[in-house]
Amino acid sequence: MVRSLKNPKKAKRKNKGSKKSESSSVPSAPAKVWQPGVDQLEEGEELQFDPSTYNYLRAFSIGWPCLSFDIVHDSLGLIRSEFPHTFYGVAGTQAEQASWNYLGIFKLSNISGKKRELVPVSTADNDVDMDSESSSDEDDDDEDEKSSQPVLHLHKVAHQGCVNRIRSMIQRPHICATWADTGHVQVWDISTLLNALAESVSDTTVGGNSIHRLSPIVKFGGHKDEGYAIDWSPIVPGRLVSGDCNSSIHLWEPSAETWNVDSSPFVGHAASVEDLQWSPTEADVFASCSVDGTIAIWDTRLGKSPALSVKAHNTDVNVISWNRLASCMIASGSDDGTFSIRDLRLIKGDSLVAHFEYHKQPITSIEWSPHEASTLAVASADNQLTIWDLSLEKDEEEEAEFKTKMKEQVNVPQDLPPQLLFVHQGQKDLKELHWHTQIPGMVMSTAADGFNVLMPANIDTTLPSADA
């Protein structure tokens, strides 16, 4: 298992552009695709990213690094494909001292297409330094550039202890749940802060360094150890499960303005419960994964033991994702860097559909696309965010034609899986990723050095019509 961030430091506001090669006077050789864990950087070599492969790429920070975040569902449109974009999110910090932690409730607005610089996003309350001796033309250029920049609006809510996991409720996005390293699971109502963000515009000051003091609606201390696993039901509003490092899972049921937490836990794993996922189609069914290497399927109507259990990996199963477009498929990521796809209809037999050994370090996050049933994204401790399309197969003729066209420009590794659609690198200590459910093709990730928002150029941003 890989959970904590390495030496968390508060992010500094500085440019983080792509690295340049040492000399531009030497004729450049064909570019080479670099694979972490396979290739080594030689002395004088630095990595460069190809900006043409992104429709959008930006970095930003909310202060302290965040182990977990969630994208908040908004009312700006169910499916949005046209720039500029705006989105909302919640995140929890990993500060150096417990009392310094907070929840970050943020809005990133004015997201324009084809922005590919890995530079931090400005916040609405930060002034932009201008050269007083610049010409009026330069001032106009600066103003044009400033007006095209995305703007981060941020509110902070004090949180005792580091935030291990945070999730926003699908049906009521202003309700979010947090797992703290203090051993408590808390539910928060952040509606007032989300409303304030919705009313803000790019030229107003929002948030700043002030920290709000809100009390959680519920604070549950019945777990015997801290945990990382938590998930809201996509079918029953307010229904929640939380799992801990002591192998126990508790069910939360909504009741009026609060929650009733079953004090008798679900027990069946032999080690820490690492992740939880509710079924996208069955209200009483959820899945869990564990350090014991298994994935378990539970039915809350059938008691407190697993209905099914399968040995999924030879090492810790860190993360799982239940496909909401093809509900028979579940993906899992392991501590040995492998990830697998299983067909739940065959769970009692040979349910393995696909198994990938591309990553060289533990899988820290995995999530199916909310728009394409065969597509999923994977984050790994090797600091690669990869996107896969399981419907792709190797086409020898097409591949030969492509290599002929590209041989003078890039040296592509020969052993890349045909299902590998995109590779994003550059973050340090990569932890978690999420697709935006309302903006097709947009992915966000968190790491020790902050957040990245990206839209790969080879991911469709428009969905087929219902009549197609």
Does 177 reside within a domain?
A: yes
> In which band, very low, low, confident or very high, does the pLDDT at 131 lie, cut at 50, 70 and 90?
very low
Residue bearing the bigger pLDDT, 5 or 253: 253
Does 157 reside within a domain?
A: yes
Does 98 reside within a domain?
A: yes
Does 205 reside within a domain?
A: yes
Q: How big is the CA angle at 173 (ends 168 and 176), to the nearest 5 degrees?
A: 35
Per-residue pLDDT reduced to its tens digit, 367-386 = 999 999 999 999 999 999 99
Residue 85 sits in which domain range?
Answer: 66-112+148-218
> In which band, very low, low, confident or very high, does the pLDDT at 25 lie, cut at 50, 70 and 90?
very low
Note the helical H segments in 11-106.
none
| Contact assessment for residue 257 and residue 238, using Cβ atoms and an 8 Å cutoff | no
Does 232 reside within a domain?
A: no
Which of these, 337, 371, 340, 364, lies nearest to 353 by C-alpha position?
A: 340
Note the helical H segments in 200-284.
none
* Percentage with pLDDT > 70 across the chain: 78
Does 176 reside within a domain?
A: yes
| Contact assessment for residue 425 and residue 383, using Cβ atoms and an 8 Å cutoff | yes
Report the alpha-carbon distance of residue 259 to residue 235 in Å, rounded: 17
Residue bearing the bigger pLDDT, 31 or 420: 420
* H-helix or E-strand spanning residue 2: none
Report the alpha-carbon distance of residue 211 to residue 192 in Å, rounded: 14
Which of these, 460, 398, 443, 451, lies nearest to 426 by C-alpha position?
A: 451
| Contact assessment for residue 289 and residue 318, using Cβ atoms and an 8 Å cutoff | yes
Q: Is the pLDDT of residue 132 over 50?
A: no
- Report residue 87: phi and psi, to 5°: -145, 160
Mean per-residue pLDDT over the chain, rounded: 86
Q: Residue 431: helix, strand or coil by DSSP?
A: coil
pTM summary value: 0.87
- Report residue 268: phi and psi, to 5°: -175, -20
**How much is the pLDDT for 73?**
97
Per-residue pLDDT reduced to its tens digit, 134-172 = 344 445 555 555 567 899 999 999 999 999 999 999 999
- Is the peptide bond preceding residue 84 cis, with omega within 30 degrees of 0? yes
Tell me the HSE value of 39 on the side-chain side, using a 13 A CA sphere.
13
Which residue in the block uniquely carries the two structure tokens 């394409």?
372
**How much is the pLDDT for 136?**
47
Per-residue pLDDT reduced to its tens digit, 297-311 = 999 999 999 999 999
**How many independent structural domains does the chain possess?**
1
Does 99 reside within a domain?
A: yes
Does 253 reside within a domain?
A: no
Per-residue pLDDT reduced to its tens digit, 401-436 = 766 665 655 666 667 899 999 999 999 999 999 999
Section 258-278 average pLDDT: 97
